Amino acid sequence: MSTNSSNTANRISTFLLMIILGVLALSIVAIIFGVQAYLIENETVALYLFAIGFLSLGLAVYVLFQTRKRVKKMKIEDPKVMTTVECKKCGTKDIREFERGDFVFKELDKCDKCEENKIITAIYKEVKEKEKPFTI
């Protein structure tokens, strides 16, 4: 059930796809008519038909790519979470990826340099700000 629903959520709407394909077909027809009009030396009509044809062709392709991009974007990204392990006695600090079972203040095995137990001092994710900060 869950897989099916995810697929339903992921797919491009049939209605939208049909509109895009319709516009694509019409734009190609417009370009063909434009060529015909140009060949019989009706330049004004040819100009209009070319303009309409290329504009709608561009628009249809743009909408199609945008929709595909939106579908691709529909996934939940797991942030990379890091664990800081420290030895309080000798000050050795090690940063590694989070492992299930880690928690802050958890005592780990003995330090390589001294006999003290290492301890998890922080678990965090680093976020790179995508948005521009507002300076007003």
Give the number of other CB atoms < 10 A from CB of residue 81: 13
DSSP for residue 35: H
Token readout for 129 is 């700000």
**47 alpha-carbon distance from chain centroid:** 38
Quick one: which of 69, 72, 100, 130 contacts another protein (CB under 8 A)? 100
Q: Judged by CB, which is closer to another protein: 79, or 91? A: 79
103 binds another protein, rule: CB under 8 A = yes
The distance of closest approach from Cβ of residue 125 to another protein in the complex, given in angstroms and rounded to an integer, is 4
Question: Would you call 94 helix, strand, or coil by DSSP?
Answer: strand
6 binds another protein, rule: CB under 8 A = yes
Q: How far apart are CA 87 and CA 85, in angstroms?
A: 7
41 binds another protein, rule: CB under 8 A = no
Q: How far apart are CA 75 and CA 49, in angstroms?
A: 41
The distance of closest approach from Cβ of residue 14 to another protein in the complex, given in angstroms and rounded to an integer, is 13
Positions in the binding site for another protein (CB under 8 A):
2, 5-6, 8-10, 43-45, 47-48, 70, 74, 76, 78-79, 81, 98, 100-106, 122-127, 134, 136
